């Protein structure tokens, strides 16, 4: 099977512009839907911290419009998550012209896997990492030191962690495309495995609190994702070879 005819640079830029506009409209629509529930959504976001605060303690805000903007940002992030399947579909449609025609049938597996991994990573951070991390930070409070976490700081930290875990869990999908493009190979990943393991623990130490248990809880899934990526790259190389052979026959 042959690839579609190559487009000039301006056509690619115009296509990218259309896809970005479509993604922005989807996020805007989802934002309009989620803003009505922004207060409840923030309460859900704050639950991992609130459950470890001493009884009677609560989050604080020091600027009058702070909560208003936090609710807007909460609705925006929620809209982004809600629009994730459509966004991944737009990404696929943008790169599809560079694929073989027999590969374009994988659009739904790509959208499903990308969405599942992104949301799965965010949920892993929320349900697994958050409780251990926040319990560690609140452990510094004592009889003469009281924790007074602000809404703005908590929102910034929690969203960075949620989106960070979501993006990190996209590693297998990224590995598939890099393998298809020939940027990485199975042999290269196997040779660099020891350095990858070291890098994973360094990244885990940076993204998580200075708590060994929390770092291991992040490094564990990353190690699994790395090994899964090796398998995926191997499959991508086989599909690439098969696609090129079919393209030669066509």
CA distance 183 to 236: 12
Of 147, 168, 189, the position where a domain reaches its end is 168
Residues 36 and 159 in one domain: yes
Per the CB < 8 A criterion, the answer to whether 135 and 35 are in contact is no
Residues 124 and 85 in one domain: yes
pLDDT tens figures, 204-247: 777 666 667 777 777 888 899 889 888 888 887 776 666 555 54
**Residues 202, 157 share a domain:** no
- pLDDT for 17: 92
Coil, strand, or helix at residue 148? Answer: coil
Is residue 72 located within the same domain as residue 186? Answer: no
Angle at 74 between CA 208 and CA 25, to 5 degrees: 115
Q: Which of 134, 168, 202 is the last residue in one of the domains?
A: 168
Ramachandran sector of residue 141 (left: φ over 0; alpha: ψ -120 to 50; beta: rest): beta
Contact 97, 2 (CB under 8 A): no
Q: For the segment 61-77, what is each residue's pLDDT rounded down to a tens digit?
A: 988 899 999 999 999 99
Residues 98, 179, single domain; the answer is: no
- Do residues 95 and 180 both lie within one domain? no
Residue pLDDT, tens place only, 137-182: 888 888 888 888 999 999 998 998 888 888 889 988 888 877 776 7
One domain for residues 174 and 163: no
* Length, in residues, of the chain: 250
Domain boundary pick from 168, 189, 224: 168
Which residue in the block uniquely carries the two structure tokens 């929620």?
Answer: 78
What is the Cβ-side half-sphere exposure of residue 245, based on CA atoms within 13 angstroms? 6
* Domain of 174, in residue numbers: 170-250
Residues 215 and 243 in one domain: yes
Q: How far is CA 106 from CA 46, 73, 114, 130, 203, in A?
A: 37, 33, 12, 34, 31
5/101 same-domain check: yes
Give the pLDDT of residue 155: 94
Per-position DSSP letters for 107-138, written without gaps between them: HHHHHHHHHHHHHHHHHHIIIIIHHHHHHHHH
Residue 7 has pLDDT above 70, yes or no: no
Would you say 237 and 184 are in contact if contact means Cβ atoms under 8 Å apart? no
State the pLDDT at residue 2.
46
Q: What does the alpha-carbon distance between residue 143 and residue 145 come to, in Å, rounded to a whole number?
A: 6
Do 63 and 178 fall into the same domain? no
191-202: pLDDT as tens digits: 888 888 898 888
Indicate the number of domains in the chain: 2
């Amino acid at each position: 099977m042959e690839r579609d005819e190559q487009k000039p640079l301006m056509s690619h830029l115009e296509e990218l512009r259309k896809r970005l506009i479509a993604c922005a409209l989807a996020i805007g629509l989802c934002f309009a839907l989620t803003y009505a529930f922004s207060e409840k959504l923030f309460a859900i976001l704050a639950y991992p911290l609130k459950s470890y605060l001493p009884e009677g303690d609560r989050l604080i805000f020091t600027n009058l419009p702070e909560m208003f903007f936090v609710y807007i940002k909460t609705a925006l992030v929620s809209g982004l998550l809600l629009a994730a399947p459509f966004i991944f579909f737009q990404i696929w449609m943008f790169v599809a012209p560079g694929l073989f025609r027999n590969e374009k049938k994988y659009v739904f597996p790509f959208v499903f896997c990308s969405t599942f991994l992104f949301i799965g990573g965010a949920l892993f951070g929320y349900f697994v990492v958050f409780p251990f991390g926040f319990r560690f930070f609140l452990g510094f409070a004592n009889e003469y030191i009281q924790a007074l976490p602000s809404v703005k700081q908590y929102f910034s930290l929690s969203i960075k962690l949620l989106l960070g875990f979501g993006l990190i869990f996209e590693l297998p999908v990224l590995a598939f495309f890099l393998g298809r493009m020939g940027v990485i190979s199975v042999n290269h990943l196997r040779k660099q495995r020891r350095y990858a393991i070291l890098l994973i623990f360094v990244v885990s130490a940076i993204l998580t609190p200075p708590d060994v248990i929390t770092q291991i809880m992040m490094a564990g899934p990353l190690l699994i994702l790395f090994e899964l990526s090796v398998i995926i790259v191997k499959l991508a190389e086989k599909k690439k070879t098969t696609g090129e052979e079919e393209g030669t026959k066509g």
